[in-house]
Amino acid sequence: MYSVDLYRQVRLACHHDHLSRREAARRFGVDRKTISKILAHAEPPGYQRSGPPKRPKLDPFTGIIDHILEDDRTAHRKQRHTAKRIFERLRDEYGFTGGQTIVKDYVRDG
C-alpha cells in the first residue's frame, strides 16, 4: 500500500504541474496503472475483507454461544457469562478444541 504522501505528490504533479502519467510513473518509481489508480482516488483505499472470516472450529458452536448469551440477557448482571467462562463451558461440556481468543472475538462482535 502506498502512503498518503505519495498520493499527494502524484496528484499535485499530475494535476497542477501537468505531468503526464508516464512521466509521473518514471519520477515516482511506480507503474502507470498505479498512477491511474492514484489519480482516480483522493486517498488510499482501505483494506476490504472479501468475505466474513472462516472459523471452522467455532462455527459448529455458534448456536450454543448465542443461546448462552440470550439466556444471559434475563440473568442478573453479576451472573452473566464472561467470554472466558463461555470458552470453558464449550471446552468442558461440548468438547470444543479451539482457542479462547476466537470465542472472545465472537462474543465481543456478536
Give domain status of residue 50, yes or no.
Answer: no
Clarify whether residues 101 and 68 are in a common domain. yes
Which residue type is seen at 100?
Q
Clarify whether residues 8 and 36 are in a common domain. yes
Q: State how far the Cα of 35 lies from the Cα of 12, in Å rounded to an integer.
A: 12
Give domain status of residue 77, yes or no.
Answer: yes
Give domain status of residue 26, yes or no.
Answer: yes
Residue 27: domain span: 4-40
Q: Write phi, then psi, for 90 (nearest 5 degrees).
A: -60, -45
Give domain status of residue 33, yes or no.
Answer: yes
Confidence (pTM): 0.58
Clarify whether residues 23 and 63 are in a common domain. no
Distances (CA, A) of 25 to 18, 37, 45, 77: 13, 12, 19, 60
Q: In which band, very low, low, confident or very high, does the pLDDT at 74 lie, cut at 50, 70 and 90?
A: very high
Clarify whether residues 22 and 63 are in a common domain. no
Reading the block at residue 61, the C-alpha cell is 458452536
Residue 45: what pLDDT? 80
Q: In which band, very low, low, confident or very high, does the pLDDT at 110 lie, cut at 50, 70 and 90?
A: confident
Q: Which residue has 508516464 as its cell numbers?
A: 22
Per the structure, the count of domains in the chain is 2
Nearest C-alpha neighbor of 80 from the set 65, 95, 69:
69
Give domain status of residue 52, yes or no.
Answer: no
Reading the block at residue 34, the C-alpha cell is 498505479
Please compute, for residue 93, the number of CA atoms within 13 A of its CA located in the half-sphere on the CB side.
Answer: 10
Give domain status of residue 90, yes or no.
Answer: yes
Residue 12 pLDDT > 90: yes
Clarify whether residues 68 and 96 are in a common domain. yes
Q: Share the mean pLDDT of the chain.
A: 92
Q: In which band, very low, low, confident or very high, does the pLDDT at 73 lie, cut at 50, 70 and 90?
A: very high
